[in-house]
Structure 1
Amino acid sequence: MSRSEEFTELRPLLFAIAYRILGSVSEAEDAVQETWLRFASTDTEPASVKSFLSAVVTRISIDVLRSARVRRESYVGPWFPEPLLTDPYDDPARSAELADSVSMAALLLLERLSPLERAVFVLREVFAFDFPEIAAAVERSEAACRQLAVRARQHMAAGRPRFEADRRAREELAARFVEAITDGHLDGLEELLAADVAAVADGGGKGPALTKPVVGAAKVARLIGAFAAMFDGTMSVEPREVNHQPGVLVTEADGHIVAVMALDVLDGRVQTVRTVVNPDKLAHLGPVADAWRLRDEAMARRAANRPADAGPDRRG
């Protein structure tokens, strides 16, 4: 097998490792590409190509994450990972670990770890690498890696998200969520939400988004209902799996992407709604809509349809 063929075979795993360390599709793809360049240019014939490439992509991802964390400190509003609609790596033996580790909630929890802790946790807990391989990847002793793993597990265990175990139940709830939005049934929508549900959006200053969470079933139902009513007839809303959890894809009639919603579901209710509208974080999914334009056009339609004696619209 040629180097190119070996790399192609392992590429899904390398992307899966890099994405979980970085929380960014674009940065993970760049890390994988840099891994290939290094592999193609080296004269080394590794005993295990999988271990060699995994170590290279891990070290690259750690370096990228260190600089990314500085940029995220000045990010406008809440920061979310770039949404992933399809995960190219599949391992039936570790399907539960793979799904849980890539959820929005888990990736946000991973943000609390240091880059080294995050890399060690991903390699050990998600992909079951042994400690000699991990030590080589992060260039630390096995003893140090074991300590990093313990600290990472403790941090993750303290805030580990819980999700609805029944996949079919999650999918059915997401379908009902979309149906309630498209039909404009606020009462039906509110019934699907936990009492303390939180809605948070990532616009990064580049898309219309609230900078603070909205909490409570009634408030979140009104917020989502207002969003749907504003864009009535101009957008399509469909249930999609987002980061291995229930989600929603919002597009224009021409297919341009407006937003992606990730839903945390537990006990038959939506616990959290995380919406990504930052166009930079949606570009890997396809053509992106101008959400600012859509909002302005919707507000203009609403103003035009308002009775002349209704006075100014102060809802924003």
Structure 2
Amino acid sequence: MGKTEEFEELRPLLFSIAYRILGSVAEAEDAVQEAWLRYDRSTTRPASVKSYLCTTVTRLSIDVLRSARVRREEYVGPWFPEPLLADPYEDPARSAELADSLSMAALLLLERLTPLERSVFVLRDVFAFGFDEIAGAVGRSEPACRQLLSRARRHMREGRPRFEADRGERDALAARFFDALREGDVAGLQDLLAADVAMTGDGGGKTPQLARSIVGADNVARLLAAVFPRLAGIDVTLEPREVNGQPGAIFRDREGRVVQAMALDVLGGRVQAIRLVLNPDKLAHVGPVADAWALQRELRRLRRGTP
């Protein structure tokens, strides 16, 4: 098997590792591409191509994450990972198995960890790498990796996200949620929301967004029921999609351009959290992005009844 075939066979795993470490589709793809370039330029064949490429992509991701953490500290408003509609490389059956580790909740929880803790946790608890492989990938001893994993698990344990075990029930609830949203049905939405549900938006200061998180079933239901009919009035549509392995939707303008991504956390027969990704930089990989400011101006004109 040639280098290209070997690399393409491992690409799904490499992307999966990089995305979970970085929370960015673009940065993960860049790390995978750089790993390929280094492998292609190498003049010696590694004893294990898989080990070499996984080590390379992990180290590249750690370096990127260290610099990204500085940018995230300066980020305007809440920070969410880039929405992943579907892993572009992974086998669907494998994607279902790893869906919980892709969720917005899980990736946000990983933000609590240091880059090394996060990498060790991903390699061990998500992909079941051996400690010898992990030690080589992160450049630490096996005992040090065990300590890093212990700390990571401790940080993750209390906030560990849990989701509906029955995907069919979860998806049916999400379908009812989006039907109620389209209809502006306040009561229908309230019935599907947890009492303490929170809705939060990530616009990065680059688009109109929620000034703060909206908390409580009544508040969230009334806001959603008021806003979506207005969006429908300017031909914005919603397209239910799986977002980061969980129920969600992509909102599009009349030209089919992406307005925002919505991700739902579902547990106990209720929507526990709603996350909106509006930052155009985080939506570009989904497709052409709408001008959110222009849409806001159109909404204002619609409310005033002016052309």
TM range (shorter): over 0.9
Deviations 1:179-205 (A, max 9, x none): 111111111111110111000000001
Q: Once structures 1 and 2 are overlaid, which stretch shifts more, 164-173 or 59-68?
A: 164-173
Residues in 2 aligned to 1:29 and 1:188: alpha-carbon distance in whole angstroms: 40
- 2:183–2:229 CA contact under 8 A, matched in 1: no
Residues in 2 aligned to 1:267 and 1:71: alpha-carbon distance in whole angstroms: 36
- 1:106–1:160 CA contact under 8 A, matched in 2: yes
Q: Which runs of 4+ in 1 moved over 6 A?
A: none
1:57-96 superposed matches below 5 A: 57-87=57-87, 88-90=89-91, 92=93, 95-96=96-97
Amino acid at match of 1:79: W
1:282-301 superposed matches below 5 A: 282-301=283-302
Deviations 1:273-315 (A, max 9, x none): 000010100000011111111111011111117xxxxxxxxxx
Deviations 1:167-223 (A, max 9, x none): 011111111111111111111111110111000000001111113211000100111
* TM-score, length basis structure 1: 0.94
* TM-score, length basis structure 2: 0.96
Given the superposition, is the C-alpha separation of residues 212 and 196 from structure 1 closer, same or farther in structure 2, using an over 3 Å criterion? same
Q: Which residue of 1 aligns with 2:181?
A: 181
Residues in 2 aligned to 1:160 and 1:167: alpha-carbon distance in whole angstroms: 18
Give the aligned CA root-mean-square deviation in angstroms. 1.3
Deviations 1:68-117 (A, max 9, x none): 00000010000000000001223857853x11111000000000000000
1:273-288 superposed matches below 5 A: 273-288=274-289
Amino acid at match of 1:284: H
- 2:184–2:226 CA contact under 8 A, matched in 1: no
**3-state DSSP class of the match of 1:283?**
coil
Q: Which residue of 2 aligns with 1:311?
A: none
The Cα shift of 1:239 comes to: 1.6
- 1:178–1:238 CA contact under 8 A, matched in 2: no
Amino acid at match of 2:284: A
**3-state DSSP class of the match of 2:261?**
strand
**3-state DSSP class of the match of 2:158?**
helix
Gaps of 5+ in 2: none
Given the superposition, is the C-alpha separation of residues 254 and 91 from structure 1 closer, same or farther in structure 2, using an over 3 Å criterion? closer
**3-state DSSP class of the match of 1:274?**
strand
Deviations 1:246-273 (A, max 9, x none): 1111111221111111000011110000
Q: Which residue of 1 aligns with 2:157?
A: 157
Residues in 1 aligned to 2:62 and 2:128: alpha-carbon distance in whole angstroms: 18
**3-state DSSP class of the match of 2:44?**
coil
Gaps of 5+ in 1: 306-316
